[in-house]
Amino acid sequence: MGKVMLYGGIDIGSLTAQAVLIDGKRQFSSVHNSSLFLAKSIPVKPNPVDSAKAVMEEIFRENGLEWKDLNYCISTGYGREKIVEEGMANENVSEISCHATGAFSLDPDVRTVIDIGGQDAKVIRIDESGNLVNFVMNDKCAAGTGRFLEVMSRTLGVSLEDLGGVALKARGRVDLSARCSIFAETEVLHFLQRGIDVGSLAAGICRSMAERVMALVRRVGVEKEVMMTGGVAKNVAVKRELERMIGTRMVDSKIDSQLVGAYGAAVLAMKSGRSV
Amino acid sequence: MVEDNMQKVINLASEIFNEEVKAWKEAGGRVIGYSCVMTPPELIQAAGFLPYRIRALGNVKTEKADSYLSRFNCSFCRSCLELGLDGTYDFLDGLVETNGCDHLRGMFENWQYAKKTEYFHYLKVPHVINENSLDYFEEEIRLFKESLEAYSGKKVDAESLARAAGEQEAVRERVRKIYSLRERELPAFSGFEATALVLVSSAISPQRFLELADQIITEREGGKIAYRGTRLMLCGAATDELELVKAIESLDGVIVTDSLCYGTRAYARIIDPQAMLSKPERTLAEAYLLDLLCPRMYEDYARRRDYVLKAVERSNVDGVIVMHNKFCDVHGVDNVQLRMDLERRGIPVLQLEKEYGSIADVGRIKTRVQAFLERIGVIESGGRL
Amino acid sequence: MVNLAQRTLNRGLFERVFSLMELVERIPDDLSDEEVEGITALLPTDVAQTVTAFLEPRVRRAGIFFLKMIARWMREAVEAKSSGKKVIFVPFNFVPELIHAFKSAVPLTSEVLSSLGAAAVKGKGHVYWDFAMGLGIPDHLCSSSTIELGSMLSGTDMTADAIISSAAGACDANAKIHEFAANYLGIPQFVLEKPVDDTSKGIEQYEKNFLRLTESLERFTGEALSEEGLQEVASNINRASEIYYEIWEMKKLVPCPVPNLFSFFMYGCRFTMWGRKESVDFFELMAKEVKEGIAKGKFKQIPEKVRCGWLYTGYYIDYAGLFSWMQDKGYSYLWDILDLFFPEPISIESRESILSGICESSRRFPMTRQMGAESMSAAWLEDAAHIARELSADCAIFCGHHACKQTWSVISMVSRELQRISGIPTLNLQGDAWLSRVTPISVIQSEIDSFVRNVIRNKGERRKIRRRKGWRTTQYPTLATGLEDERE
């Protein structure tokens, strides 16, 4: 690889940390599955700065790159300000803007982004130029976030990855209250004790999750196309429920949905870096 | 010595039983606590007591309060009750309840049930403004005065009431001055500093506040704070959360004005002290009821909206944050109307629902505010993200 | 822009409930079991469940009457719209008789419509709630008013010509959503404030507020209230009130001969047709049905295991099934707060005396009287303790409707004191009374079950205390209303 013009995005989530590198000269197509960027995802460390350092160093090591190859970098997610203070990024941008930019760069027809991470759920509206028009984010409650699915899958004894599949295959569905993840856990246990099958409960959980997210969706409205990003986008049952409730199929993010925020940060870094 | 006075104010604002109140108590003075902006401190002061506006300063522990109030009650009221029950407010000799909102009513009922104060009075405030309600409130003011007299053991004479009203008016006048310096093109105060000043204005004696405020105003009038970025207005529920204001201002924004209960809304009214000599009850009733810009009032939304619109224009605000504490119905609903009316005029709005004082939540609030600032940045730069 | 999130809304709640009511209007006044089965088979499942609850043999005649009365109430609103009369939206804690006294206006009660939506419409009215949430209305608002108002806000439903708000002072959530709806729709809002003041000054102030509202309504409708119109309304009220107390007396009997669902019927009528001939007929029919039940011993078919008082509202999320479910289990639903309207005779001497009587009913309305009091806990407790004693309740249940910040703020005091004064325990449930997706009815039922089992276990002890204190004095009436000693 010749001399690169690297632009970076670092996104620290509640469960995983992501790094994306874009080469301003677009030379990565040969090395990363025909994508125009490099990416790395690792489980988070207790401290966001350590996570950022680890994920960046790994991506550098794997690709024979160094910190000094980095032209401009933007941090987002947890501890994004600290990462700038530590000198690993030039500026920080909210994950809301990063997901908007990421989704729009991947598919310029996208007008609505539903991003559900481990702790947060956001619905973001963007205009035809990719600008942030409006957004809404869940309040403190975990019921509409990945955390809810995590707690529930543990209660059911199904892995988080399998939950969506189990739900899709279920014959029935139990209606659960949609209000609070703590109550929902008690409720699920109550149903398990009554001998209700795991599949129906998984389906109920995914429906309940989607309903929570829909409450946010209604706040800002939906315009086509819709893209789902973040870890929960991998849950097929939640995605299917949301599509049914909204009444449209969502577009595919083409890349790992968890990388969209970091990708957006890298795209923004490229814009900022070039104008510097 | 510029920052010494301001730092003193910040210190005073950061403590509930502050050193001024301690000194007052040590000198044998009595303190009467009130919560609602409808309580006339002039009356409390004229009766010889120190009026103290109850606050929670971001306290999030509510273990004791939660065995009385529920988790469906506003966390600000739960926090205040907690401080009442855990002894923090033991320096209060009396309490004045108002029917400010349903949560507040519940808070005071529980406070009295669990822990009686020596003095207690319920000042009932109408929810609409008309001749009848003014008459009613005038009578309520009279009853309040009588109950204070009964507690102090002596009559509140016209002269002492006029003196107290004069000092309280001076306090409001200084706060208005501070706001005008804050709202100008090159602000002389950050939102954090202005909030601290407002908090202190109702937590120490007026004389002490006037001394401090006058010095600070002189120090700041000619200068400006280091400020960059977006000019914001903060509207909504009772907030005395200095940390929240600080968190918002740690981003690229400065809060240049507000429409808060612990903010401008408490200082808009102008009372002529001379009127205390002839018809004090009527004057106070009119001043407090007619100038109440609180969403608890009905048939009055247009005035609240116009108040915000004027402030937006006057202070050249780029965006408005309307917030409410979870379960606050009066602000929760008013904020929707406000958001719609502001957006209709092309003013960007962030509607924020939050728990009171929750440090764990600050990061999430900051994310939303930052995205809001980024959105405003896009609008201002003509559409380039 | 097409907002896909709102796309499912195309018919309003009122319209949907009314189209069901048009079917109800056609059914005969009494039905055989086979006929009921035939009817419910034709109806959509959700609707059928409600109709089944209302048409159960033990409440059937009253149930049919009730449904037809509601149908008539709704039809009057529909006809008012087409004949140029005013349709005035009122909250449940407002006296509809005042509007009935106008020739040119009809009342519609938002909470009743929300309840009917929750009880009779497919999807239980959730879409209208969702619409309101979409506007940004916080989810801690009250579903009882927001479901119906959400429907009206969506522009798919009948729009009121004016809104009366009588919760100012007693309930922020209710008064604020009314204010929002009036502003959003650009229609007048008339506010009746309840001062939190039970002294003569406060009562006088309420009277002034009430007269001010009456004058505003007269100006708005362009009609001066006539003495004759008021007299008719007042006479009907006086007659219905007598029967209300007659039923109340029968509720005191152990076991309770009044079916659970009658509690709902009583306030359902109070909030809609009070002051009308229909309300007199309905109360007469309910009283007659109870007496017949006593005469035939029907009410003893399921032994009464426990007597429950609902400190606040009931639940309306399962097609009125909770009332029947409790009945089948032998759990008597003696009252909920909405039954406590304690009507007083109105002097029909003059226009002034009648207005003053209606005003007094309004001031003493359920929820207004407790939550609009100077001390919410004291007023609520006083009523609860008094009724618990009068009706020999074994336990109390608080539904824990999330939006009721006032009741939630004092329930801990009230239940503590109720235990101390009356010796009865309180179950604190947590569920939205109009939105089933918050806490499903199955969860509520299982909590009631386990609570009640405990209560039954400790019941003997409480009986002894009661006997000592001399509770319960009423005797079973005969059909001819004479007294007959049928006590165990």
Residue-range domain boundaries for chain A: 6-97+258-275, 111-252
CA separation for the pair B95, B105 (Å, rounded): 13
CATH fit for domain C254-472, picks 3.40.50.11900, 3.30.470.20, 3.30.360.10, 1.10.10.10: 3.40.50.11900
Interval B268-326: pLDDT, tens: 899 999 999 999 999 999 999 998 999 999 999 999 999 999 999 999 999 999 999 99
B179 contacts B220 by C-beta, under 8 angstroms: no
Residue type, B35: S
User: Strands A112-116 and A121-126, how do they pair?
Assistant: antiparallel
Check if C377 contacts B (Cβ < 8 Å).
yes
Neighbors of chain B with 3 or more C-beta pairs under 8 Å: A, C
Assigned CATH class of C9-227? alpha beta
Neighbour count for residue A254 (Cβ, 10 Å): 11
Domain C9-227 shares a fold with domain C254-472: yes
Interface test with B, best of A92, A137, A274 (most B CBs within 10 A): A137
Q: Nearest 5°: CA angle at B284, between B279 and B290?
A: 125
Tokens of A121: 């759920």
Domain spans in chain C, listed from the N-terminal domain onward: 9-227, 254-472
C4 vs A178, A215, A247: nearest CB: A247
Is the pLDDT at A27 greater than 60? The verdict is no
B297 min Cα distance to partner chain A (Å): 26
Handedness of CA C31, C37, C38, C43 (dihedral sign): positive
Number of helices and strands in chain A (H, E)? 9, 9
Residues 6 or more apart whose CB falls under 8 angstroms from that of C99 comprise C88, C90, C105, C106, C107, C217
Interface test with A, best of C1, C2, C3, C4 (most A CBs within 10 A): C4
Name the DSSP letter for residue C349: S
pLDDT of residue C488: 32
B367 min Cα distance to partner chain A (Å): 6
Name the DSSP letter for residue A25: T
For chain B, positions 197-236, list CB contacts with chain C under 8 A: none
B330 min Cα distance to partner chain A (Å): 18
**In chain B, which residues have their Cβ closer than 8 Å to the Cβ of C208?**
132
Neighbour count for residue C70 (Cβ, 10 Å): 23
Tokens of C314: 């009931």
C1 min Cα distance to partner chain A (Å): 7
pLDDT of residue C418: 95
pLDDT of residue C475: 60
pLDDT in single tens digits along all 385 residues of chain B: 445 999 999 999 999 999 999 999 999 999 999 999 999 999 999 999 999 999 999 898 999 999 999 989 999 999 999 999 999 999 999 999 999 999 999 999 999 999 999 999 999 999 999 999 999 999 999 999 999 999 999 999 999 999 999 999 999 999 999 999 999 999 999 999 999 999 999 999 999 999 999 999 999 999 888 877 899 999 998 779 998 999 999 998 999 999 999 999 889 899 999 999 999 999 999 999 998 999 999 999 999 999 999 999 999 999 999 999 999 999 999 999 999 999 999 999 999 988 888 776 788 899 999 999 999 987 666 544 4
User: Distance between terminal CA atoms of chain A?
Assistant: 25
Is 3.30.420.40 the CATH number for A6-97+258-275? yes
CA separation for the pair B374, C434 (Å, rounded): 40
CA separation for the pair C229, C355 (Å, rounded): 11
B35 contacts B261 by C-beta, under 8 angstroms: no
B172 min Cα distance to partner chain A (Å): 35
**In chain A, which residues have their Cβ closer than 8 Å to the Cβ of B361?**
140
Start-end of H helices in chain B? 2-13, 19-26, 41-46, 75-85, 102-114, 131-152, 158-183, 191-201, 206-221, 242-249, 280-290, 301-314, 329-344, 359-380
Check if B246 contacts A (Cβ < 8 Å).
no
B231 min Cα distance to partner chain C (Å): 24
Q: Would the pTM count as exceeding 0.80?
A: yes
Residues 6 or more apart whose CB falls under 8 angstroms from that of C42 comprise none
Start-end of H helices in C252-312? 260-270, 277-296
Check if B109 contacts A (Cβ < 8 Å).
no
pLDDT of residue A180: 61
CA separation for the pair A42, A57 (Å, rounded): 11
A177 vs C2, C130, C437: nearest CB: C437
pLDDT in single tens digits along all 488 residues of chain C: 445 555 556 789 999 889 888 888 888 888 888 888 888 887 777 677 777 888 888 899 999 999 999 999 999 999 999 999 999 999 999 999 999 999 999 999 989 998 888 877 777 788 899 889 889 999 899 999 999 999 999 988 888 999 999 999 999 999 999 999 999 999 999 999 999 999 999 999 999 999 999 999 999 999 999 999 999 999 999 999 999 999 999 999 999 999 999 999 999 999 999 999 999 999 999 999 999 999 998 888 899 999 999 999 999 888 788 999 999 999 999 999 999 999 999 999 999 999 999 999 999 999 999 999 999 999 999 999 999 999 999 999 999 998 999 999 999 999 999 999 999 999 999 889 998 878 888 889 989 999 999 888 887 666 665 655 555 445 665 544 433 333 33
C5 vs A177, A190, A217: nearest CB: A217
pLDDT of residue A32: 41
Instruction: Identify the CATH homologous superfamily for domain A111-252.
Output: ATPase, nucleotide binding domain (3.30.420.40)
**In chain B, which residues have their Cβ closer than 8 Å to the Cβ of C205?**
132-133, 136
Contact A131 B363 (CB under 8 A): no
The residue in chain B having the minimum alpha-carbon distance to the alpha carbon of residue C170 is B102
User: Distance between terminal CA atoms of chain C?
Assistant: 70
Contact B107 C409 (CB under 8 A): yes
**In chain B, which residues have their Cβ closer than 8 Å to the Cβ of C377?**
109, 113
* Residue B213 backbone phi and psi in degrees, to 5: -65, -40
CA B333 to chain centre: 19
